[in-house]
Amino acid sequence: MSTSVKPATQPSDLVRDAEERLPDMLADIARVITLETPSADKDAVAAGAADFADLLHERLGARPEILTVDGVAHVRLRFGEGPPRVVLLNHQDTVWPHGTLERLPFSTEDGVLRGPGSFDMLTGAIMSVHAAAILADRLGEGGLEGLSILVTGDEEVGSVTSSDLIRAEAAEAAAVFVMEASADGALKLERKGTGIYTLIFRGRATHAGLEPEKGVNAGMALALTLPLIAELADVEAGTTVVPTTITAGTTSNTVPAEARVDVDVRARTAAELERVDAEIRALAANPRLEGSTTEVIGGINRPPFEPEQSAELFDRATTLAADLGIAAPRGVAVGGASDGNFTAGDGIPTLDGLGAVGDGAHAEHEHAIIAEIAPRTALLAALIADQLGR
């Protein structure tokens, strides 16, 4: 970070500064992509958090905290003494297992940036660092008073350890900006809430050839219940209830004593999430196969992100984009959830999808478009300055 304070920020300054910083942003994106951080490996996530904290210190001149919750490391950098007025939400864990870099290495070719986590959401996380750095360089570090940058370590597995931290950090904020990516540049104004369940069916094992009649087949209990789970969906309401991973049994000649199914639930309203939750538990309480039992693990994970929480910030983004001379953003509703669901669900103004433009979240073709990085970083800087100045 420069020690001198540049003149007062104008929209054209932000775009120019972001373009000048693009080589540094690409270097920082390469840095975080090449340090693999699969969510399930807490040691790898901790190493990634430590390195991201160092990167924040290098770029912003302030030392972040590393907050470890149930073994998962999260990074927080606050400016000023009072409660944050603007919170930037990021995560540095990815869905990619160790070794992915060997076949999907970081690269920048033909205007496209590739590598595991490049789209979801390491490019966005670096954009948040540099947007803050642009403002610090222009206004001095004091110009960031009231800003908090969070970089969590378990978003891809439900934010189990970070959700309370996120909600507490944003409790008094005027705005939360979520640096998740955008498939076509549109900002995310509405997200469905989520439920994550595992149903465990238990029966009694016996030899499948000698005395199957003495067993209670947990696999059959699962099979009888599966259609009833799927029927909980409501197409008109936009509620999806999808059985996903299914396992049963131990050997080919044993009546299964246990079977499991994971269930993914998405809904636009809290009432729909609560309805599905109650009906899943009712199914478990009334097993369809005599002698079997059913246990439910999990529940409602993220509340819905309803559109009224993003409306005012989206209007400001549209106005600021015009001031910057960049294309006006579009807004979309999406089915996937993010950490923005927590803050929007608490009634905090939240705008999502401010990160990379590209495609391929969780897919082999994951990528970000390099030409979009600087203008969107400038827009983020403008949004931060706009909200901190109120």
Name the strands in the sheet holding 358-359, side by side, starting at the edge strand that comes first in the sequence.
Answer: 107-109, 112-114, 367-369, 358-359
- pLDDT value of residue 268: 94
Write the CATH number of the domain with boundaries 193-302: 3.30.70.360
In angstroms, the CA 175 to CA 390 distance is 11
Q: Determine whether domain 11-191+305-388 maps to CATH 3.40.630.10.
A: yes
- pLDDT value of residue 23: 98
In angstroms, the CA 124 to CA 113 distance is 12
- Low-confidence spans in the chain with pLDDT less than 50: 1-5, 7
User: Over the stretch 130-154, which tens digit does the pLDDT of each residue have?
Assistant: 999 999 999 886 889 999 999 999 9
Q: How far is Cα of residue 386 from the mean position of the Cα atoms in its chain? A: 24
In angstroms, the CA 348 to CA 167 distance is 9
- pLDDT value of residue 12: 65
| In the chain, where the domains are located | 11-191+305-388, 193-302
Which residues make beta-bridge pairs with 149? 77, 88
- pLDDT value of residue 167: 97
Domains 11-191+305-388 and 193-302 share a fold: no
- pLDDT value of residue 10: 66
Peptide bond connecting 220 to the previous residue in cis, omega within 30 degrees of 0? no
